[in-house]
Structures are given as C-alpha cells and as structure tokens.
Amino acid sequence: MKNKKMTRREALRNLGLLTAGVFAFSPSVMACATKTQDNKSIDKATPSPVGALALPAVPIATLSNGVKLPRLGLGTFLQPDNDVCKASCLAALKAGYRHIDTAHAYNDEEGVGRAIMESGIPREEICLVSKLWVSDYGADGHTLKAIDEMLARLQTDYVDVLYVHQPVGEVLAAWKEMEQAYKQGKVKALGISNFDYPDPECDAIFDEIVKNSEIKPHIMQVECHPYAQRLDVKKKIAPYNLQLECWYPLGGKWSNGVILKDEVINKIASARGKSAAQIILRWHLQEGHSAIPGSTNPAHIQENINIFDFELTDDEMAQIRALNKEQRLYTATYQQTKGFANGPRM
C-alpha cells in the first residue's frame, strides 16, 4: 500500500498522538461505522498502513448492516475504577486496539470515554461498544433517556454497538427505543447479550427480537471459550446473521486461570513460543469469533494483540476444539438473572 501524503492537520494530529504515546492510523483502514455491504462477512486481516504507524492486523467483521468491527477488542469488566479503566484503555489504544467493550453495569464508561478523548484518536476510528443495564429498560422515553445518559458518560454522540445486557425485565420495550436511537444515528448497530439461558421464556424473547423486531440484532455476546465452545448457540443463531462475540474468552478472572493452565493449550504454546492467552485468542479469531479479553495489565494488553505473526494449524485447531466440554464458568440461572430486574446495577 502506498503511503498517502498527509495534510498539515493530519501531521499535527499524529504528532500529538505520538507525544501522547498513542499511534494514529490511516483513515483508509478505518473500521467502524462504515457501510459497505448488506451481508455480514468475516473479512481478511485489516490492511496495515506502512511504516512506524502500522497497526496490528486485527481481522474485521462486517455486520449485517455493513458496520465494521475489529474482531479483537479490550473488555472492561472488573476494572477497579474509572482511573484504572482509563489507563487500561489508553494502553490498549496505544497497542493498536480499536474496539473497546464496556457497559453501564461496569461503572467504568466514564473512564473509557476519558481514554478515547485523551488518546486524540479520531472517534470514528474506534469501535465503542456498551450495554444497557436492566434498570435502563422501559417504554415512554425511559430507555432513550438512558441512552443519552450513557452517551454523556462516554463523552460521545454515538456508540458503535449497543447491547441489551440481559434478556429480562422490560427488554422488549427497551429494544423498541433502541431502534429509535438507531434511526437517530445514536447507535450504529444493535446487539443482544446473554440471550442463551436454557429457559423457554428466554427462548421466546430471543425469537421475538430476532424474528419480529423492526431492526433485527446484528451481533450476540455470550460466554465462549475452549471449555464452552457454544456449538448449540452457534447453530441457533446461524439463520439470523449474527456475529458471535465472546465474553470470558480466556475463562474470566474468577476461573483462577483454569483454561490458561490447560495442558494441551500450554503444549501448543511452548511449541510455538507463545503464551497460553495468545494461543486461546488466536483460536477464537480463527474460529471466526470476535473476542474481547479483559485486562488491567499493560503487558497482558500488549501480549493479547501480538497474535498476528502466526497461525494455528488445522491439527492445533482440532486439539483445542477437542477440549470442548460445554462447561460454562459463569453459572447464574435465568431465574437468578431475572432477580436483577428489580435490583440495582451490578
């Protein structure tokens, strides 16, 4: 690819980013909110710009409405506070992440917003993803107000993906107002999260949204990792053109690193000179997943995106697939989750 001549404004912007320790990249590789085609597809790796400003070659998913989403992002669940979250996001943006996943329930959207502002990276070059909590659901403008409040916390006028965090409470009323926000341009794509409880009521809500809503969801977020590869969920969502985004991609903080310690994964890691986390994340991407590993550790954040100089072989992929035991590591039931509808935020 030929390097484009920079305008003075771009040059100044890049200089600012470099002094802030954050690299910019050419608008020609901009991923977010770009409408290019009608059907979701898994694109090849993002073309990297030349020279010192090159970004990691994170593959891009094109959602069913054309919105493009880098398939590796930073998760922000359990960041201890907004200041730590801001530092984690800045470390990620510096390392080349352009997708950040947050939620009202995480109490760290302000930190994410501050990081994006301070990075100096143009807003349209970052995929910002958040989730409405159950207390945000409701008709008569309740959810629209919650969306405006979210945008204020994030210091932005749109999010790239907005999820309903849980399929409980007034979720169908919330969806109708999310559709309005989508039409107003405050949200570029709509997502459903945790619509995978084995419960007929949850199934009915899933069916209502994927089959009968005016604006159908573009993406679904569920727990997914080598020990719970969610083969049934994949089968269930296949007709609806939903990108699968994996939370707990490494097994989550509360798992005591059980998947990171797995013998098969560590054998592959040693043979490859990579870490277990890198092998797991590479597996996710080669499976076509979007993965959002969470971390507060800048070394881990950097390590987790340094996965584009190798490819797992068919045999290595098969070894990791064979680890599947559909063992969820987060085990709240639908009935327990329904209790959240009347409770406070997480």
Ligand X SMILES: NC(=O)c1ccc[n+]([C@@H]2O[C@H](COP(=O)([O-])OP(=O)(O)OC[C@H]3O[C@@H](n4cnc5c(N)ncnc54)[C@H](OP(=O)(O)O)[C@@H]3O)[C@@H](O)[C@H]2O)c1
Q: Least Å distance between CB 100 and ligand X?
A: 8
In whole angstroms, the minimum distance from the beta carbon of 289 to ligand X comes to: 12
Is there a catalytic annotation at residue 106?
yes
The least CB distance from residue 298 to ligand X, in Å, is 9
Of the candidates 106, 137, 158, 182, the residue annotated as catalytic is 106
Q: How many residues bind ligand X (CB under 6 A)?
A: 27
By CB under 6 A, what part of segment 180-209 binds ligand X? 193-194
Based on the shown chain and the rule CB under 6 A, indicate whether residue 337 belongs to the binding site for ligand X. Answer: no
| 248 belongs to the binding site for ligand X (CB under 6 A) | yes
Which 255-274 residues touch ligand X, going by CB under 6 A?
260
| 252 is a site residue for ligand X (CB under 6 A) | yes
| Closer residue to ligand X in complex, CB, 229/295 | 295
**21 vs 9: CA distance, rounded Å:** 18
Q: Binding of ligand X at residue 127 (CB under 6 A)?
A: no
Among residues 18, 57, 77, 180, the one that binds ligand X under rule CB under 6 A: 77
We find the least distance from the C-beta atom of residue 138 to ligand X, in angstroms, to be: 20
Among 59, 70, 75, 96, binds ligand X (CB under 6 A): 75
Q: Interface with ligand X includes 303 (CB under 6 A)?
A: yes
- To the nearest whole angstrom, how small is the minimum distance from the Cβ of residue 12 to ligand X? 33
Is 250 an interacting residue with respect to ligand X (CB under 6 A)?
yes
Which residues would be at the binding site for ligand X (CB under 6 A)? 75-77, 101, 165, 193-194, 221, 247-253, 260, 275, 277, 292-297, 300, 303-304
Please list the active-site residues.
106
